Structure 1
Amino acid sequence: MPAMNAESSWDFRDNQELTASHAYNKEGYIIEKADFQYLELIKHDIERAFYEFPSITRKDVQKLENAHYSISHDQSNNLRLHIMKKLYRNTSFHRNYYNTAKNIIHSLCGNELAMQKRPGLSINLPQNRNDVLPIHADTWNGVSPFELNIWIPLVNCTNSMCLYILKRDNYKRRLNDSKELLRLTSDELFNELRDDLTWIPIEYGEILAFDQSLPHGYSLNEERDTHWSINCRFKGLHTPYWDKKLGEYFMPITVKNCTRLGMNYSHPDNWI
C-alpha cells in the first residue's frame, strides 16, 4: 500500500474533510459544534440517572456543575458507575451519541464504523484527588491507533476542568528525548511534560475529537464547579483492532450493504 502521510492525485476527500483533517493532524485535536438536538437527549439521560442516585444528599440541585453540593468525594466513583449502568441498558444512548458527532466522525474516521460498547463518563468534583486521570496515551495499553476519541463536555470547561493534551508538535519533539519517559511514574511523567501540555477550554454544545495516541488526562479540578464529560471511541470497521476486539469492546453500527452481502457470500462449489 502506498504511504498515506501525504496527499496524492488519488486523494478524493472533499474540502470539508481536508480542512478538518489538516487541523486534526496539526494539533492532535479539533473542536466542532455538536448536533444540539441529540446532545440534549444525552444530557437529559445523564441528569435523570444522576437524580436517581440514592446517595444524593440534596435533591434540589438543578445543574450538573453543582453536583458537589449533593455528593461527597468518596461517592463520586459510585455515582459514575450508577449512571453508566443506567445509560447502557439499550442502544438509544449510543445512537444519540453517534448522531451528536456524526459529521466530524465521518470526516475523520469514515462512515462504515464500529463504536465503543461502553463510553466512559468522567465526574470530577472540585478538589477531589480521586477523580484525577493520570497522564497516559491509550495506545500504550493495547489500544489501536486507528481509533478516534469523541469527547463531549456536559458543562462548560475552563482551566483545570479541561482535558489536557500534549499537542502533536510537542509530542514529536519530545519523542527525540532519550530519558526513558515511560519508565517514570504517572506523576513523574506529568511533571516532566507539564510545561508542554495544553489544557483545552471547551463549552457545552461543542465536541472535542482528539487523537488518543497523544498523552492526555485530567489534573486536579481546582475550579468551583464539577466537571462532567463523556468520551467514546469510533473506528473504521475494517481497520486493525489490537487488544480491543470487535463484538467485545466495539460494536458495528453502520455496516453497509455490500459488506453484509460479502460476509454472507457462499461460493457455488457444487457447480464445479
Structure 2
Amino acid sequence: MDDFGLWDFRSDEEKALCSRFMSDGYVIEKANQKHLDIVKKFIYDAANEFIFKKKIAVNSKQYHLEEFHTFMDGPESNDLRLSVINNISRNIKFNHHYYLAAQKIIYQLCGNELAMQKRIGLSINFPHNKNDVLPMHADTWNGVSPYELNIWTPLVNCTNSMCLYILKKDTYLKLREDKSLLKLNTDDMYEKVKDNLTWITIKYGDVLAFDQSIPHGFALNQENSSHWSLNCRFKGLHTPYWDKKLGEYFMPITLKTCTRVGIDYKHPAN
C-alpha cells in the first residue's frame, strides 16, 4: 500500500521524507532545540538527584552526561537509569516537551491525532559495560503494533559503537521471507547479519524516527564516553493496538474535536 495515486494529497516535503523512511527504515531530522534542551535538563537534574541520594563523590561541580562513567561503576548504570525513569515519569510536562521536540517529524510520519507512550524509555550505556548491551530484536516480535513510530533522541553525540544499529531493510526483507531470523538466538542472529547493519551516527540536536519492526539494538560501547538516549513510541490514535493498550501503555495526546463529539454522541432512540 505504497501509493494511492491521485488520492495522495501529501505535500512534496512529506512524500520525500516518507520515501526515505520506507526505503531505509529510518530518518533523521532536526529537533525543536528549545524543547529538547528542556528535556535534557529534566534528565540532568534527575541524574544529579540520584548522585546526591547515593552520596556519590564527584570531582567537579561541572560535568556532562558523557562523563558519568568516570565517577560511577558499571553495575550502577541500571540503578541510575531506573531512578531517572521513575523521576521523569512523575511529571507529564516531560512527555509534553518530548513530543514538542519531535512534533514535525511525528506529524509527517504518523499523523496529528496521536497516542503517546506513557513512560518514556531511557538508555544509558557506560563504556565497556556488558550489562548495557541491548541484544538485537524487533519490537513487533513481542506484541508491539506495527503502526507505532519509535522516536529515538540522543542526549549526547553518538558515533561508532555508541550508535544504535539497525539491520539494512533490504537484507531484513530477504531474511523475513525465509523466516530464518526467528530460528536463531540473539548472538547467532547478530553474527549472521553484522556485515549488513547500519550504525546510525547522530548528534545531540537531532531526532531519529525508525521502523521498530526492523531488527535493531546496541552493541558494547567501546568509546570513552557514556551513551544517553531516550525513546518513545507514538501512533495514530485510531490505528490498531496489539498487546500495549490505550489507557494502559498509551495515552491520547491530541484528541480532535470530531473524535470528542463522537465519543459523547448518544442516539435519540437510545
* TM-score, with length taken from structure 2: 0.96
User: Following TM superposition, by how much is the alpha carbon of 1:163 offset from its aligned partner in structure 2, in angstroms?
Assistant: 0.2
Q: Residue 5 of structure 2 corresponds to which residue in structure 1?
A: 8
> 2: CA distance between counterparts of 1:115 and 1:101?
12
- Paired amino acid for 2:194: R
- Paired amino acid for 2:120: P
Where does structure 1 lack aligned partners over 5 or more consecutive residues? none
- Paired amino acid for 2:149: L
| Mapping for residues 68-217 of structure 1, pairs under 5 Å | 68-177=69-178, 180-217=180-217
2:52 equivalent to 1:52? no
Aligned length: 266
> 2: CA distance between counterparts of 1:62 and 1:231?
23
Higher mean displacement: 236-245 or 67-76? 67-76
- Summarize the Cα distance change of 1:135–1:5 in structure 2 as closer, same or farther, 3 Å threshold: same
> 2: CA distance between counterparts of 1:153 and 1:57?
26
Q: Residue 31 of structure 1 corresponds to which residue in structure 2?
A: 28
- Paired amino acid for 1:254: T
Q: Residue 256 of structure 2 corresponds to which residue in structure 1?
A: 256
User: Following TM superposition, by how much is the alpha carbon of 1:59 offset from its aligned partner in structure 2, in angstroms?
Assistant: 6.0
> 2: CA distance between counterparts of 1:79 and 1:241?
31
Percent of aligned pairs with the same residue?
A: 57
Q: Deviations over 1:205-250 (max 9, x none)?
A: 0000000000000000000000000000000000001100000000
- Summarize the Cα distance change of 1:88–1:59 in structure 2 as closer, same or farther, 3 Å threshold: farther
2:17 equivalent to 1:20? yes
SS, match of residue 73 in structure 1: coil
Q: Residue 227 of structure 1 corresponds to which residue in structure 2?
A: 227
Q: Is the contact between residue 51 and residue 59 of structure 1 (CA under 8 Å) also seen in structure 2?
A: no
User: Following TM superposition, by how much is the alpha carbon of 1:90 offset from its aligned partner in structure 2, in angstroms?
Assistant: 2.0
SS, match of residue 106 in structure 1: helix
> 2: CA distance between counterparts of 1:121 and 1:33?
20
* TM-score, with length taken from structure 1: 0.95
User: Following TM superposition, by how much is the alpha carbon of 1:106 offset from its aligned partner in structure 2, in angstroms?
Assistant: 0.1
Q: Residue 238 of structure 2 corresponds to which residue in structure 1?
A: 238
Q: Residue 37 of structure 2 corresponds to which residue in structure 1?
A: 40
Q: Deviations over 1:34-65 (max 9, x none)?
A: 00000000000000011111333316251000
- Paired amino acid for 1:168: K
- Paired amino acid for 1:22: S
Q: Is the contact between residue 121 and residue 230 of structure 2 (CA under 8 Å) also seen in structure 1?
A: yes
- Paired amino acid for 2:16: T
- Paired amino acid for 2:218: Y
Q: Residue 67 of structure 1 corresponds to which residue in structure 2?
A: 68
> 2: CA distance between counterparts of 1:124 and 1:168?
25
Structure 1 stretches (4+) deviating beyond 3 angstroms? Answer: none
Q: Is the contact between residue 24 and residue 210 of structure 1 (CA under 8 Å) also seen in structure 2?
A: yes
- Paired amino acid for 2:158: C
Q: Deviations over 1:126-175 (max 9, x none)?
A: 00000000000000000000000000000000000000001212211222
Q: Is the contact between residue 168 and residue 197 of structure 2 (CA under 8 Å) also seen in structure 1?
A: yes
Higher mean displacement: 67-76 or 52-61? 52-61
